[in-house]
A and B are shown apart, each in its own frame.
Chain A
Amino acid sequence: MSKSKVTVFTAKNILTMDPGRPEVGAVAVLDGKVLSTGSVESMSPWLSQYDWELDETFADKVILPGFIEPHSHCWMSAGFMALDFIGPLPWPGRNGINKPVEDCDAIFEYLREADKREKDPLKPLVAWGYDEAKQGGNIDRDALDLINPTRPIYIISWAPHLLYMNSAALSLSKVPEKTQDPHIKFYEDGRLKGIVTEPEAVSFAIAPVMQEISDASGVTGLKFMASIANRAGVTTIADLMFGVLDFDTELADHSAATEDPSFPVRMRLTPYAAALNAKFGDDAPKFMDTLKAKETNELFFGGIKFMSDGSYPLMGSLVGFPGYLDGTNGQPGDSNLAELMKPFWEAGLQLHCHANGDLAIDLTLGALETLQKQHPRFDHRFTVEHYAMSNQMQARKLKSLGGIASVNNYFSHFRSLLHRDHAYGPDRSETVGRLGTLEKEGVIFALHSDYPQVVVPMLPLTAVYAAVNRVAEDGKTVVAPDECIGVARALRAITIDAAYILGLETKLGSLEQGKFADFTVLEQNPLEVDPKSIKDIPIWGTVKGGEKFEAQE
């Protein structure tokens, strides 16, 4: 008889996402996997077979299966997230959405605190988003020296061709004391003013910062992103842009990070088709076999990524009649989608296709239809990624072709009013993320953030809040209320249904025997609180494979 030790976690509620026993009071963990769910009493036939201990840390808390973020970009974005944002509008930060920084005084206040917080006295402080027109004030060398003259401080304006520096930054960047370059500004007394303008001068002055940030990417960056995920209750992150820079480097970094027992998340990487083709040519589909051979319990590979239009917040989505408010339209994605997808489809791989606008969704569904005609497949899990602006019949067609959807539904909360008169117009912006229609048509879907590539945070509880309330960014307006879904379905979309979309449903997404013991630990039960306050439920942290990861600031 095995002497493996079993840990039994008890909680106020445990929502298992197992329809047969949806709510229990205890979950037993053996070797990092779920041994049993129920009560301490009901699982006694198991407990009598093992040494076991009771862990009551969560006795007054609520356990859910670990949240899954099925579409994000960690590796390539970690450096960017190291920058502080000081702009005059709400913006996603390391802890959700930061409040707007109203004026120049508030910027200085922010910088003073950031300066105090950072213990390494020489680590540069880099903030961006200063909008002189909106926030006013005078930022220059002397003003920044008042905060700290010896720590390099760089302020990047909203347009990154204006850079403000203190004395330490000027010397770190080796800005010449004497020059006839009109883009380097001087005080009347001839001292450098700490302001450089225009791309050429800024590129030069910002180089040491970019170098430092890029040095801090890689494994360090992944750990930083994982700590953000941990605070959001996320235990598995999918990165949908693997290999965009270099497969070998990215693979080495992900392996090193996920092998570390203190790394709080599992990761699933999806290579980008264009990058695969560029590197491997006709052998591209076979590369997935190489990757699969490197899988561990913490690092998975799956799916191939395609693009059919541009970004939703950067106004690159392709939409149908009559285009954008100003008569323009978005940017195209990969050309000849079906042709590009064909070898991967025929190799039996899962395909993920980015599609924000309804025209892009048409192109994507058209490609899937072509593939199904040429080489029919079942359970292929072709996933439309983002599915931002759709119409009802697209959901039906997606269903009939056997496809599923990973939806960025945060937009209904963060962008639906903005885009009423900015690019897309009211019809499309108000109905962004049609989860109600997907549910009615029987399409399986997950919720994702695309963090930090678009202007929303990675907070699955906020995605649930957005899905069930559809309250816009003003906190009052409800957009397309008929597209709301219930809390239970929304919770599935960040757990078991997200696992299904990643092809990891036998390992993750619910608390059932044999699955990884990954939990999200909340202070309140999302099924019981007022749906409007779901996003405000405090998050204790997570458990990954039976190990506790309390959220750290």
Chain B
Amino acid sequence: MKQSNDKPSALNHLDNDIQTKTEESRRALSGMLFATLAMRGRQTTVADKSLPLTILSGFLGSGKTTTLNNLLTTDHGIKLAVLVNDFGRINIDSALIESKTDDMISLTNGCACCAVSGDLTKTLIELTERKEVPEAIIIEASGIADPNGIAQVALSNPAIYLDGIITVLDAENLVSQTSSDHTSGTVIRQIQAADILLLNKLDIVNSQVRTQILEYLEQHFAQKVIIESLFGEVPISALLGQSKSPKVKYFPIEGSHHADKFESVSFNVKQPLDRNKLNLLFDALPPKIIRAKGVLLLSDNVNNRVAYQRVGGRWSYSDMGAWINDDAESNIVFIAPKGSVELLELESKLMACCV
């Protein structure tokens, strides 16, 4: 172990961390400027703020790749574009691969995995100018990156909105990572930036470590939503929001062992809802609710569909334009660990928002 005193350097840990933070910031700002330059005169083939972006963050070895492999190959019906630094560690069953080039693997399920060779901005522009635009984008952040910086750069593309930041944590090594000078700054920033913490490798730690980690997270990051995963498998419905494409999708809880742990509760409300009352309800939802999403019929905007998204403690509305071929009515789904949502209570609160 390292010596605690007698540091040869004139710079202490705090200064090191400021240095790192500043360089992260510099990288993000440069990236944003570069993206602004690159976007000039560009026409995306999709509407503004219509493509959901999920950033998958996490320190080296935390299990991001396993999670990505699952996202790519699970049969969820969503056309995902997954952006990774290099293909090397992505491991997809060859039967699922439709075609492969130097920088893209296309899968038979409509998903694609793209290698970002250095320039995220360009890759995103190419994706949003394609004829076949994906329904959701996932970016794998490098192990040492601050996901907020990546979000900032990606959001310079007007087609994209931020659906959520998911930080994968390595249960086996989290304690040492957050106590080492060399890694704590990075790991803590990744946790702070997250909407959802995905706690990996819980299956291989003993109960003492498990308790220690949960207490640590409870003490320092009480507001964060935590999903415990087994063997990198997680319910996709919890990780991804809904596509804003006209055919709105709800993701059912898939796979038997997820169904044991998570549940989704959906409501259909025919009467228009009052925005102010809903605001209060949505603000007061318990942090246990990992995700909520839906299309709303609001009394002050009855001609248009309004999308509602909640990830972690963050939520927003967005206007999706006029109702097309749909019945004008509200549909909302809440996803939470099994048994943590009072179904009846939620339903009565929601009904109380009707005009």
Contacts and interface: CB of A to CB of B under 8 A. Distances in A.
B121 to A, nearest CB: 9
A417 B30 contact: no
Contact of A214 (B37, B85, B142, B314): B37
B152 A199 contact: yes
B8 A160 contact: no
Contacts, number: 138
Interface in B139-172: 142-144, 146, 148-149, 151-152, 155-156, 161-162
Residue with the highest number of chain A CB atoms closer than 10 Å, among B25, B85, B279 = B25
A134 B29 contact: no
A426 B8 contact: yes
Interface in A187-211: 198-200, 202-203, 206, 210-211
Nearest to B161: A200
Interface in B233-260: none
A422 B38 contact: no
Interface string A143-158: 0000000000000111
Q: Name the interface size band of chain B.
A: 35 or more
A199 B155 contact: yes
B85 A331 contact: yes
Given A160-B25, A326-B183, A418-B19, A474 B10 contact: yes
B131 interface: no
Contacts of B20: 422
Contacts of A474: 10
A202 B152 contact: yes
A159 interface: yes
A335 B40 CA distance: 30
Nearest to A217: B37
Contacts of A313: 23
Contacts of B152: 160-161, 199, 202-203
A76 interface: yes
A314 B142 CA distance: 12
B17 to A, nearest CB: 9
B31 to A, nearest CB: 9
Contacts of B10: 417, 473-474, 477
A46 B25 CA distance: 57
Contact of A328 (B11, B18, B144): B144
B327 interface: no
Given A182-B314, A200-B162, A160 B118 contact: no
Given A156-B25, A160-B152, A325 B182 contact: yes
A89 B15 contact: yes
Nearest to A131: B18
Contacts of B295: none
On chain A, which size bracket covers the interface? 35 or more
B16 A422 contact: yes
Contacts of B151: 161, 199-200
Nearest to B146: A159
A177 interface: no
Given A87-B22, A326-B180, A326-B182, A245 B34 contact: yes
Contact of A203 (B9, B118, B155, B183): B155
Given A307-B118, A334-B117, A426-B8, A156 B29 contact: yes
Contacts of A181: 316
B18 A87 contact: yes
Contacts of B142: 331
A348 interface: no
Contacts of A423: 182
A80 B30 contact: yes
A411 interface: no
Contacts of A87: 18, 22
A217 B36 CA distance: 11
A159 B148 contact: yes
B175 interface: no
B307 to A, nearest CB: 14
Contacts of A274: 117-118
Nearest to A182: B314
Please give me the 4 A-B residue pairs with the lowest Cβ-Cβ distance, nearest first: A199-B151, A203-B155, A326-B182, A210-B36
Interface of B: 7-11, 14-16, 18-30, 32-34, 36-38, 40, 60, 85-86, 117-119, 142-144, 146, 148-149, 151-152, 155-156, 161-162, 180-183, 189, 193, 279, 314, 316
Given A91-B22, A332-B85, 8 more contacts: A77-B30, A79-B33, A160-B28, A245-B34, A245-B37, A417-B11, A421-B16, A473-B10
